[in-house]
């Protein structure tokens, strides 16, 4: 019976040694895969940040152009004589003058 127990223990130890070796191999492969994925994720993140910076610069440029247009328009309005109304304001004033007062009979 003692011989049988020693054979079982020996077989168990061999199986455990094989399983441990195989587990280490899996761990090494998993580490390699994770390193590769990490490198790819970092590269993708750098690409996304770069694209966001370019997009932000373009949007700021467009905003600057629009602000410059607005500033020029405001300067033109400030230089124009007080009696001369802007075309939009003159049109709006004409429309108000021709509309009847609510509640009045025509």
In angstroms, the CA 33 to CA 31 distance is 5
In angstroms, the CA 30 to CA 49 distance is 28
Which pLDDT band, with edges at 50, 70 and 90, does 29 fall under? very high
**Residue partners of 86: CB distance under 8 A and separation at least 6:** 77, 80
Residue 105 confidence (pLDDT): 56
Say if pTM beats, i.e. exceeds, 0.75.
Answer: no
Mean pLDDT of 29-53: 89
Check if the beta carbon of residue 85 is closer than 8 Å to that of residue 93.
yes
Nearest to 89 by CA among 101, 76, 102, 100: 76
Residue 49 confidence (pLDDT): 87
Nearest to 76 by CA among 93, 68, 92, 91: 68
**Residue partners of 106: CB distance under 8 A and separation at least 6:** 100
Residue 88 confidence (pLDDT): 59
Check if the beta carbon of residue 86 is closer than 8 Å to that of residue 77.
yes
């Amino acid at each position: 019976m003692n011989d049988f127990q020693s054979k079982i223990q020996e077989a168990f130890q061999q199986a455990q040694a094989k399983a441990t070796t195989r587990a280490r191999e899996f761990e090494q492969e998993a580490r390699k895969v994770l390193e590769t994925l990490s490198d790819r994720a970092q590269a993708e993140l750098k690409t996304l940040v770069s694209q966001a910076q370019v997009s932000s610069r373009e949007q700021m440029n467009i905003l600057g152009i629009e602000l410059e247009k607005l500033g020029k328009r405001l300067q033109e309005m400030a230089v124009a004589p007080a009696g001369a109304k802007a075309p939009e304001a003159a049109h709006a004033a004409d429309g108000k003058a021709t509309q009847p007062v609510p509640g009045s009979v025509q």
